[in-house]
């Protein structure tokens, strides 16, 4: 429920003005944008996945290499749900804003691929994605379904059909270096006039430092972030409601 509707409407109008008056606008999204698609977030107080599980024990390079069976038992069932999820109103409106020329690049910390499913074209998946996997030995690439299909048929850890090496997802695990998309995101942030942060706690570095490259900053997140004090506009409301109202006042049809 929106606590103060008048204040909320004023903030949505301010968001519209910022998007339309600035020429180079980027969006940075985190797990919070996908919760309305049925994907839980990681760091919300009381409900975040990492409040219940230590990611270093389950989603790190060390976890994969020291106990791959445990790694896949924890991750494959969850990741399969991500693969089957569908974009929500926020993903769809962001795609339309890009199509209309109000957003240049979508930078996402998410691996769920929902921005691409929603129609966004210029997407930087800085933590990787779940469309493919690869062999850690011969480096051959396979569809993600090759890895998940083997797992669900009882093969754990999944094996490369080319050399027998272990498969791993094309996501940035804890202890992995950042990939090429992060370097592209840094390039995209050059000259950024407005960065709209959506559903990110801005606690995971180096991505959490991206707001420092933008002249203006908007944060749309249900909980406070370390960057709130520096933002030109902060909206602590449902992300779905924010983009539903923004679509109304900007005459955006996502049906």
Among 118, 93, 85, 86, smallest CA distance to 244 is for 93
CA 129 vs. chain centroid, Å, equals 10
Name the DSSP class of 119: T
Using one digit for the tens of pLDDT, what is the confidence trace for 28-87? 999 999 999 999 876 555 555 656 667 788 999 999 999 999 999 999 999 998 888 999
Contact 243, 10 (CB under 8 A): no
Helix intervals (H) in the chain:
5-21, 49-52, 55-58, 61-66, 68-84, 89-99, 114-118, 144-152, 180-188, 239-249
pLDDT over 60 at 122, yes or no: yes
**Residue 127 designated active-site:** yes
192 belongs to an annotated ligand binding site: no
CATH for 1-38+87-127+178-255 is: 3.40.50.1220
Residue 38, token pair as written in the block: 């049925």
Using one digit for the tens of pLDDT, what is the confidence trace for 168-200? 999 999 999 999 999 999 999 999 999 999 999
Preceding amide of 157 cis, omega within 30 = yes
pLDDT the model gives residue 56: 85
pLDDT band (50, 70, 90) for residue 131: very high
Average pLDDT of every residue of the chain: 93
133 belongs to an annotated ligand binding site: no
Preceding amide of 206 cis, omega within 30 = yes
Catalytic one among 115, 127, 134, 245? 127
What architecture does CATH give domain 40-84+129-171? 2-Layer Sandwich (3.30)
pLDDT band (50, 70, 90) for residue 127: very high
pLDDT over 90 at 102, yes or no: yes
Exposure string of 60-98, with b = 16+ CB inside 10 Å and e = fewer, is bbebbeeebeebbebbbeebbebeebebbbbbbbbbbbb
Domain ranges of the chain: 1-38+87-127+178-255, 40-84+129-171
């Amino acid at each position: 429920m929106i606590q103060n509707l008048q204040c909320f409407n004023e903030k949505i109008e301010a968001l519209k003005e910022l998007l339309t008056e600035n020429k180079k606008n980027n969006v940075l999204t985190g797990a919070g944008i996908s919760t309305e698609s049925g994907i839980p977030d990681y760091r919300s107080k009381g409900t975040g996945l990492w409040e219940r599980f230590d990611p270093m024990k389950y989603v790190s390079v060390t976890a994969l290499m020291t106990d791959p069976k445990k790694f896949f038992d924890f991750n494959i069932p969850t990741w399969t749900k991500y693969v089957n999820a569908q974009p929500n109103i926020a993903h769809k409106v962001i795609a339309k804003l890009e199509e209309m020329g109000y957003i240049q690049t979508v930078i996402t910390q998410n691996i769920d691929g929902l921005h691409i499913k929603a129609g966004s074209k210029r997407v930087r998946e800085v933590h990787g994605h779940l469309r493919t996997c690869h062999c850690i030995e011969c480096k051959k690439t396979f569809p993600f379904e090759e890895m998940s299909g083997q797992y669900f048929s009882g093969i754990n850890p999944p094996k490369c059909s080319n050399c027998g090496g272990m498969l791993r997802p094309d996501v940035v695990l804890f202890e992995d270096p950042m990939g090429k998309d992060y370097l592209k995101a840094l390039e995209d942030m050059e000259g950024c006039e407005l960065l709209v942060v959506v559903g990110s706690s801005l606690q995971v570095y180096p991505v959490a430092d991206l707001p420092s490259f933008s002249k203006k900053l908007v944060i749309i997140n249900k909980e406070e972030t370390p960057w709130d004090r520096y933002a030109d506009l902060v909206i602590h409301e449902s992300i779905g409601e924010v983009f539903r109202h923004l679509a109304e006042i900007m005459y955006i049809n996502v049906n």
